[in-house]
Amino acid sequence: MADLSHLSCVAALVAAACHDFDHDGLNNTYHQNAFTNRAIRYHDKSIQENYHAAESFQILLKPEFNFLHEMGRESLKIFHQRFFGVILATDMAKHMEDLNHFKNRLTLLGITSEANNGHLFVDRTSSKTLFDSQ
């Protein structure tokens, strides 16, 4: 994992465990066509993924499950962004868009397996660019 912080790794692992939390066995298209409460709540955007992330994060914040309580505000914000980002990335309707964005970034940065320069993918110019590039 391209030089990810401990916090990012923990967020990704927890998100992986929660990514289908409370799945109802239906897909986003069903929710959109049936105008379900989930579809309405999430404006037809990554309906199931948003639901899984929001519901599981609410549980993580309950006192009996909250291992995040000792994090500072900035760390919690980063955890939250990473956690939601990983779960939202499981929306297969966006897969090709995400893959094309990734490939375009590799091309733009001149990253190839032959050049063994994958480290260039992570922008360390500032803490914001570092966060955005991971």
Each residue's pLDDT, cut to its tens digit, for the chain (134 residues) gives: 456 789 999 999 999 999 999 999 999 999 999 999 999 999 999 999 999 999 999 999 999 999 999 999 999 999 999 999 999 999 999 999 989 988 998 888 888 888 777 777 776 676 555 556 55
Helix residue ranges, H only, the chain = 6-18, 28-34, 37-41, 47-60, 73-88, 95-109, 127-133
Vertex 58, ends 55 and 63: CA angle to 5°? 145
Q: Identify the pLDDT of residue 1.
A: 42
Q: Identify the pLDDT of residue 106.
A: 87
- Give DSSP secondary structure letters for 62-75: STTT-S-TTS-HHH
- In the chain, the N- to C-terminal Cα span, in Å, equals 9
For helices 6-18 and 73-88, angle between their N-to-C axes, nearest 10 degrees? 50
Residue 108's alpha-carbon distances to 40, 92, 93, 104, in angstroms, are 38, 25, 24, 6
Q: Identify the pLDDT of residue 127.
A: 59
pTM for this structure? 0.82
Q: Identify the pLDDT of residue 114.
A: 81
Q: Are 132 and 122 spatial neighbours (Cβ–Cβ below 8 Å)?
A: no
Q: Identify the pLDDT of residue 126.
A: 61
